[in-house]
Amino acid sequence: MGLMCGTSMDGVDAAMLETDGERIHAFGPSVEIAPAYNPRQRALLEQAMAARGIAADDAIQAVTDIHFAAVTSLRARLDEDAKLIGFHGQTVFHNPDAGVTVQIGDGMRLAEMTGIRVIADFRSADMEAGGEGAPLAPFFHFALAKRIGATEPLAFLNIGGVANVTWVDPSKNTPEEEGALLAFDTGPGNALLNDWMMRHTGEPLDRDGAVAARGRIVVDRLAQNSVQDYLMRVPPKSLDRNSFALAGERMAGLSVEDGAATLTALTVETIAAAVAHMPEPPSRWLVCGGGRRNPVMMAMLDERLDAPVEAVEAVALDGDMLEAQAFAYLAVRSLRGLPLSAPGTTGCERPVTGGRISDPRPLRQAHPPES
């Protein structure tokens, strides 16, 4: 079972996966617990983020408890219980330049509560080996490419607050093999557009791309130096959600519709620019994350990229559960001592494993056994 709650903190995903840590044998049931946290708990986590990862005990307990609720909800749907839980925890601070990443949640407590072995702390070992600690989903993307029978290089594109891409060469034997994977953040995903919509309409997103569809792209506003500098940087590279806030501010003065259209185009242009860093152009793009639900963004990508662009559902994958499934997969790899990251995915010095195991202690017997 894999568990995931992103930095938006809007829901906890739990998903079952049958795997040996190399191949994906079957996908199982999944659930989402939303909202993830009540206002008091969310405030505690926001305080931890503002304090650069220093979290109160109440915040750690809140994270553990909501993930336990997700485990409990999913177990009610299972014919056979999980053998292992991959517990990512809640990211409250991530600064790869400083070599620091903080995900909170008590793996041992979750193991005690569930009675199931838990693996947590997936990112620290990568950072100790010189990596950025992210992204970790690419090894799972490699397994997905094998599962769908891909024979040519392809790209998995995740459009969340930030957009990131994994280029996969499925002809390689393992994900840690040199040339098998290249992964990095491409630029702004939905964050700038969502902020624009909230600021101008009070809505948290451009639902179905309806506002952008009524606007026009203002070409001169796309020439943002802060974005161009990042686009030229050689991967590995990663971003914070607010890295391009200035680019969003430079849309000031546009109509709501034109601003939405231009910011949508900015996301698309930064994704298109990512191809220059790839060993060869991908044969297809499979899109997950909230951006795949924006038909205007998807149509722009289809027009701008020289390859088919499809939501991952086109190959029978669940775009809402990929990250939870990824941490189920990584938990098994961790248990087997297999690498979770490689120089092409995080910039670490060598392929490196990670994760910390918590085994539930056996319950004490209330009475000694009869002789």
pLDDT, tens digit (0-9, with 9 covering 90-100), for 321-354: 999 999 999 999 999 999 999 999 999 999 999 9
For residue range 58-76, list pLDDT tens digits in order: 999 999 999 999 999 999 9
Which domains are seen in the chain, by residue range?
2-131+333-358 (3.30.420.40), 149-315 (3.30.420.40)
pLDDT by 10s per residue, the chain, length 371: 999 998 778 789 999 999 999 999 999 999 999 989 999 998 999 899 889 899 999 999 999 999 999 999 999 999 999 999 999 999 888 888 888 889 999 999 999 999 999 999 999 999 999 999 988 999 999 999 999 999 999 999 999 888 999 999 999 999 999 999 999 999 999 989 999 999 999 998 999 999 999 999 999 888 765 688 889 999 988 877 777 888 888 999 999 999 999 999 999 999 999 999 999 999 999 999 889 999 999 999 999 999 999 999 999 999 999 999 999 999 999 999 999 999 999 999 999 999 999 999 865 444 444 43
Q: What is the pLDDT of residue 50?
A: 87
For residue range 144-173, list pLDDT tens digits in order: 999 999 999 999 999 988 899 999 999 999
Burial of 150 (0-12, 13-18, 19+ CB in 10 A): buried
Q: What is the pLDDT of residue 227?
A: 83
Q: What is the pLDDT of residue 225?
A: 59
Round to whole Å and give the CA distance between 169 and 81.
Answer: 34
pTM comes to 0.92
Round to whole Å and give the CA distance between 269 and 264.
Answer: 9
Round to whole Å and give the CA distance between 251 and 84.
Answer: 48
Provide the token pair at 5. 């709650």
Task: Look at the block and give the residue holding tokens 């297999």.
Answer: 338
Provide the token pair at 29. 């049931």
Round to whole Å and give the CA distance between 176 and 173.
Answer: 9
**Contact between 212 and 268 (Cβ < 8 Å):** no
Provide the token pair at 88. 């990512």
Q: What is the pLDDT of residue 162?
A: 86
The packing angle between helices 57-75 and 39-50, to 10°, is 130
Strand ranges across the sheet with 162-168: 181-188, 162-168, 154-159, 285-288, 309-311
First to last CA, the chain: 39
Backbone phi and psi for residue 136, each to the nearest 5 degrees, phi listed first: -110, -10
Which of 33, 203, 233 lies closest to 132, judged by CA? 233
